Amino acid sequence: MGNVQMHNICFFNNKGGVGKTTLLCNVAAFLATTYKKKVLIVDADPQCNATQLVLTPSLVNSIYKTPSRILHRTRRSGKAVTLLDILKPIAAGEPDINTSITPISSRDNRFGVDLIPGHPQLALLEDKLSQSWLGFGGGDLGGARITNWNTQLAAAVGKSYDLAFYDVGPSLGALNRSVLVGTDYFLTPMGCDIFSIMGITNIASWFEKWLGAYSDAIRKCSQTWDISDYKIHTDITTIARFIGFTVQQYITKSKEGVRRPTKAYEKIIEDIPGMVHEQLRSFYPPHLRGNDLRLPDVPHMYSLVPLAQNANCPIHDVGSADGLVGAQYGQQTEYVRFIRALSRAVLKNLPKK
């Protein structure tokens, strides 16, 4: 709601440590540089991992060199640089965000994307967002507007981008809920472990609970207020629909020089599609079926990931000047095949606008 051409997608799993941020930033970079899409990354994780991956340390330091006192000072005017700047009016009790937004330009990073950096103090907004959610549940218009801060953000930037990717932490809390309220889709990176499957179960239960509460809250608000005057999602069937999952491949064990699959991992891989379908099928968008949602698996990249992190560049762009040597060239070639296939699958799963 509220944007013209942009699809906004959250990479989300309740299980941490699945390579979510690395995958998001590399997909975003490939779509921007190879498919020539106008791409925005929004770092909504208080750990700011996407910010640190995309930007050089010197640029990161320049952004955060001035301490931000979220509870004592609100930026009412001027350009918003971080997501915290955008949300400071909400921290002060106002229902609108700061829409004077100046993302970090694609010219200032090797990923070729614009970026709204995160901020560690985003974690301090959890209580404010929880209070607003409770007010919204009682029919409070201000609570509805604050809960929909990301709907406001999407409307503000939607004419400038083809795609926006949101990086979030693994929490099932108020901040992530409010991010997802303003997104069209979510994609779930998974590890090859039982805990990733449990994460899917948690997501399904959490989504079902708060989407039902959201629908009731919209009904109550509409009885008192004309909410069509505001950037508020009114149809829960268009909020955070599931567009796919990808699984991080495990490292096979070698015996007598031959790599052999591990039975426990193979059983988990076998069980994942059925579990995903069982838990998340009610969140599929109408144009997709179960087979569409199994995205290409993520190959293990060994030393390529830290090499790319140190160079602040996407894996497909790492070169000899960044320290790429020997067998890493072959690993990079494999990764490019994967990221191309995944990017193509993501675009295929998005409806035309």
User: In this structure, what CATH number is given to the domain that contains residue 101?
Assistant: 3.40.50.300
What's residue 174's pLDDT?
Answer: 97
In a domain, 231, yes or no: yes
What's residue 73's pLDDT?
Answer: 39
In a domain, 248, yes or no: yes
In a domain, 294, yes or no: yes
Which residues of the chain register pLDDT less than 70? Answer: 1-4, 66-79, 250-262, 264-265, 353
In a domain, 249, yes or no: yes
In a domain, 1, yes or no: no
Tally of domains within the chain: 1
The 3-class secondary structure across the chain, one letter per residue, is: CCCCCCEEEEECCCCCCCCHHHHHHHHHHHHHHCCCCCEEEEECCCCCHHHHHHCCHHHHHHHHCCCCCCCCCCCCCCCECCHHHHHHHHHCCCCCCCCCECCECHHHCCCCCEEECCCHHHHHHHHHHHHHHHHHHCCCHHHHHHHCHHHHHHHHHCCCCCEEEEECCCCCCHHHHHHHHCCCEEEEEECCCHHHHHHHHHHHHHHHHHHHHHHHHHHHHHHHCCHHHCCCCCCHHHCCEEEEEEEECCCCEEECCEEECCHHHHHHHHHHHHHHHHHHHHHCCCCCCHHHHECCCECCCCCHHHHHHHHCCCHHHCCHHHCCCCCHHHHHHHHHHHHHHHHHHHHHHCCCC
Tell me which residue range forms the domain holding 78: 7-349
In a domain, 2, yes or no: no
What's residue 257's pLDDT?
Answer: 53
Question: Does the pTM of the predicted model rise above 0.75?
Answer: yes
In a domain, 316, yes or no: yes
What's residue 139's pLDDT?
Answer: 95
What's residue 3's pLDDT?
Answer: 44
In a domain, 84, yes or no: yes
